Amino acid sequence: MKTTRIIPLEKPIDAAVSIPGSKSYTNRALLMAALVGKNVRIKNPLFSDDTKAMIDCLQTLGIKVAPKVDSLEVVGDITSVDDTSYDLNAHLSGTTIRFILALSSVVAGVKTIRGEGRLNERPIGDLVDALRQLGAKIEYLEKEGFPPLRISSSKLTPGNITMNGSVSSQFLSSILMIAPMIGEVNIEVIGEQISKPYIDMTIDSMKQFGANVEIKNSSTYTVPAGQKYNINEYVVEGDASSASYFFAIAALTQSRVMLKNMNPKSVQADMGFLKILADMGNEVEYGDNEITIQGRGIKPVDVNMQDCPDQVQTLASLSACVPGITHIAGVGSLRVKETERVAALERELAKMGIRSESTPDTMTIYGGYPKPAVIDTYWDHRMAMAFSVLGTKLKGMEIRNPQVVTKTFPDFWEKLGEIGIKTSASERDPNIVLIGMRGSGKTTVARLLAKRLGKRCEDIDSLIAKKAGMSIKKIVEKFGWDHFRDLESDMIREVSEQNGAVISTGGGIITRSENIEAVKKNGLCIFLRATLEVLLSRMAEDDSHRPALTTGTTPKEEMEKMLAERAGLYEAAADETIDTETDPPESAVEKIVAKLRERGVVKK
């Protein structure tokens, strides 16, 4: 597995960097260019995984998209595609699957649309329901409300629709952009419309392409009939999402950074993050196609980020570095993104010793003095970039699977280098460390997991016994528990230097903090949890070779005492927790593998 270590700045910097084109504007421009009916040049586009997914889908439908050095040439007319079958793959791009679904409803043929990985777990039902109100024929191929889907309609009828705005702004954007192909369309948004600035971006793009949208009462949108997209060239402005990480670095390190290729009057949602930093006291200057920030530090804040949810991870990571309480509202949509972003943030902040809490739509971070950590990205580009910001201040920060940034910002690491931030890349396969009480199944599960993943299996107790030339029981009887714990700590330090092993530990390793620190340097801790009754039952089956745990008079008393002392330690050390009390070991293995995939530790 690849990792990237960020080298902290020795002093504040004064630097400039050019920001790539906006992903959101690029994908909107690609879709509308396909509806123009003549050649369209898109200048300063973003070349990334997400925009490539959009291009691939358009090309599958017969639209030619030719990449140039700093532009894209879109050739063809989507309204004249062949009436045949199309298999469209949006890969991991949420923008693409939603935009292409709407587009597929107004072009000929039978279109099957699917994504990869978590994209097929992200809800799309509200968009389907809205399109069906205009006559779209769409069916779910697997789970109701989620991709993959089949679309057999090729024409929609003008009319009125209502749609839910609380899940994604891209649903509304999708219908707005295809509306000129339909006739007059009136859309009433029911409930709260999240991420409204993204709707403003869509309307701004449509206007530049020659189509207007009328807004009534902030929740009703009308696209009048008789409009047609007509443009020869479109220029994509710089990406505020990409710029935000450099704004954050400037604020955190009190540096001065100029961001070139930025529209100071942009309506992009993530410009809201710049206002949050300015409210903290950071100084922002707006120039001609550039924005400069003079960092003055970070302060705790109480903000609602519903309109710029992609910046929650960046603000949360910054908040870890300042003593005080930061409260962020409007985070509900993060739970259906590339990963369950709120849960991912809580896990990674906990690694750094930072406490956080959340409700369905809020997150609270208790900032202070974070410890460096190896950050899991969960295949989420924004997790990688947000936590890399901390590496400019905190020595020892590493990012696993740094290549995930290609989704939206392929040259992110190179851009850091341009402003003087050094990084060090390496290839390292983390250890999988099983922790838990005696009888929780660590030894059995470790062997099966190692076989399942094609890794080595290391058992700490077996290694100690082999090195000492006697069983663990005899070591304890002859030398006592303190001596055994010393041997255990020595062995843990030795084994933790390995890469790519599955390690089964003794139940008491968590009683010494240095043990957990050692295994976590290059490992993930999986807590195998079982109830007292299950643990006692398993111990009764095979306990002859085990030393007594305490001075309790019965095994039950011993286990009760241990659980009382250790339960909190296991939970604090655990990166993931797996219940092993009812399922067979093979099921526990598959649950662990699923968790590792989610974190990006093993391939999907």
Task: Read off the CATH number of the domain in which 358 is found.
Answer: 3.65.10.10
Q: Does the residue 604 lie in any domain?
A: no
Instruction: Please tell me the predicted confidence (pLDDT) of residue 468.
Output: 94
Is 194 part of a structural domain of the chain? yes
Do 470 and 376 fall within a single domain?
no
Do 387 and 536 reside in the same domain of the chain? no
On whether both 494 and 372 belong to a single domain, the answer is no
What pLDDT, on a 0 to 100 scale, did the predictor assign at position 546? 63
Quick count: other Cβ atoms within 10 Å of Cβ 120?
17
Final residue of a structural domain among 412, 427, 442: 427
pLDDT of residue 308: 93
User: With left for phi above 0 and alpha for psi between -120 and 50, is residue 217 left, alpha or beta?
Assistant: left
Question: Could you tell me whether strands 431-435 and 40-43 are parallel, antiparallel, or unpaired per DSSP bridges?
Answer: unpaired
Percent of the chain with pLDDT over 90: 84
User: Is residue 575 one of the residues assigned to a domain?
Assistant: yes
Name 567's Cβ contacts closer than 8 Å, sequence gap at least 6: none
Q: Please give the pLDDT value at position 339.
A: 81
Residues 207 and 279 in one domain: no
Looking at residue 538, its pLDDT comes to 84
Furthest-apart CA atoms within the chain: distance in Å = 92
- How many Å apart are CA 602 and CA 429, to the nearest integer? 9
Contacts of 470 (CB under 8 A, 6+ apart): 478
> 45 forms bridges with which residues in the sheet?
none
Q: What is the pLDDT of residue 555?
A: 76
Give residue 56's pLDDT: 98
Residue 469 lies in a domain: yes
Range 379-401 average pLDDT: 96
pLDDT at 545: 61
User: What are residue 112's DSSP bridge partners?
Assistant: 87, 150
| Residue 573, domain CATH | 3.40.50.300
- C-alpha radius of gyration, the chain, whole number: 27
Q: Are residues 509 and 468 in the same domain?
A: yes
Question: E-strand spans in 282-361?
Answer: 283-287, 290-294, 302-304, 324-329, 355-359
Residue 97 domain boundaries: 23-235
**Residue 146 pLDDT > 70:** yes
3 state SS of 523: strand
Residue 442 falls within a domain, yes or no? yes
217: confidence class by pLDDT, cuts 50, 70, 90: confident
- Whether 394 is in a domain gets the answer yes
Look at residue 218 in the predicted model and tell me its pLDDT: 83
Q: How far apart are CA 365 and CA 406, in angstroms?
A: 28
pLDDT tens for 519-541 read 988 899 999 999 988 888 888 77
> Of 404, 427, 450, which closes a domain?
427
> Do 453 and 559 have their domain in common?
yes
235 forms beta bridges with: 43
Would you state the pLDDT for residue 522?
Answer: 87
71: nearest Cα among 17, 29, 24, 31: 29
Residue closest to 272 by CA, chosen among 292, 243, 249, 230: 243
Does residue 425 register a pLDDT over 80? Answer: yes
Please report the pLDDT score of residue 553 as a whole number: 67
The answer to whether residues 587 and 517 belong to one domain is yes
Q: Are strands 185-190 and 214-216 parallel, antiparallel or unpaired?
A: unpaired
Quick one: tokens of 457?
């299996």
How far is the C-alpha of 345 from the C-alpha of 224, rounded, in Å? Answer: 43
Q: What is the pLDDT of residue 366?
A: 98
Does 455 share its domain with 354? no
Mean pLDDT to the nearest integer, 559-588: 90
Average pLDDT in the 288-303 region?
97
Q: Residues annotated as binding site for 3-phosphoshikimate?
A: 23-24, 28, 168-170, 195, 310, 337
Q: Which residues are registered as beta bridge partners of 74?
A: 40, 65
User: In this model, does residue 284 exceed pLDDT 70?
Assistant: yes
Q: Please name the residues in contact with 424: beta carbons below 8 A apart, sequence gap of 6 or more.
A: 4, 5, 7
Mean pLDDT of the residues in the chain: 94
Helix or strand or coil: residue 473? helix
Residue with tokens 């006291």: 281
Give yes or no: residues 181 and 264 share one domain.
no
Mean pLDDT of the 84-107 span = 97
Residue 91 belongs to a domain: yes
Residue after which a domain boundary falls, among 170, 203, 235: 235
Task: Give the long-range contacts of residues 55-61, CB within 8 A, separation 24 or more.
Answer: 55/30, 56/89, 56/91, 57/88, 57/89, 57/90, 57/96, 57/100, 58/30, 58/31, 58/34, 60/86, 60/87, 60/88, 61/34, 61/86, 61/88, 61/103, 61/104, 61/107, 61/109, 61/111
Question: Which residues are known binding-site members?
Answer: 23-24, 28, 94, 122, 168-170, 195, 310, 337, 341, 382, 407, 439-444, 461, 485, 507, 546, 566
Quick one: tokens of 50?
């997400």
13 and 92 inside one domain = no
How far, in Å, CA of 395 to CA of 392, rounded? 8
Residues placed in the known binding site for substrate: 461, 485, 507, 566
Note the pLDDT of residue 540: 77
Q: For residue 8, tell me if it sits in a domain.
A: yes
Q: How many domains does the chain have?
A: 3
Predicted pLDDT of residue 537: 86
* Upper half-sphere CA count for residue 438 (Cβ side, 13 Å): 22
pLDDT at 550 over 60: no
The yes-or-no verdict on residue 156 having pLDDT over 70 is yes
pLDDT at residue 104 greater than cutoff 90: yes
Q: Are residues 74 and 191 in the same domain?
A: yes
Query: How sure is the predictor about 551, in pLDDT bands with cuts at 50, 70 and 90?
Result: low
What pLDDT sits at residue 426?
85
Span 358-381, mean pLDDT? 95
Residue 554's pLDDT is what?
Answer: 79
Which position has the token pair 């009436």?
83
With a CB cutoff of 8 Å and minimum separation 6, the contacts of 286 are 264
pLDDT over 70 percentage in the chain: 98
Per-residue pLDDT of 426-448, as tens digits, reads 887 899 999 999 899 999 999 99
In the annotated binding site for Mg(2+), the residues are: 443
| Pair 223, 294 in one domain | no
pLDDT digits (tens, 9 = 90+) for 313-346: 999 999 999 999 999 999 998 887 778 999 999 9
- The CA-based angle 602-603-604, given to 5 degrees, is 120
Confidence category of residue 560, pLDDT binned at 50, 70, 90: confident
Which of the residues are catalytic?
A: 310
- At 179, phi and psi to the nearest 5? -55, -40
Tens digit of pLDDT for each residue in 218-273?
A: 899 999 999 999 999 999 999 999 999 999 999 999 999 999 999 999 999 999 99
Rounded to 10 degrees, the C-alpha dihedral 576/582/587/588 comes to 30
Q: Please tell me the distance from the alpha carbon of residue 311 to that of residue 271, in angstroms, as a whole number.
A: 10
**Cβ distance 322 to 300 under 8 Å?**
yes
- Say how far apart CA 387 and CA 397 lie, in whole Å: 8
Does position 544 have pLDDT exceeding 60, yes or no?
no
Q: pLDDT confidence of 511, banded at 50, 70, 90?
A: very high
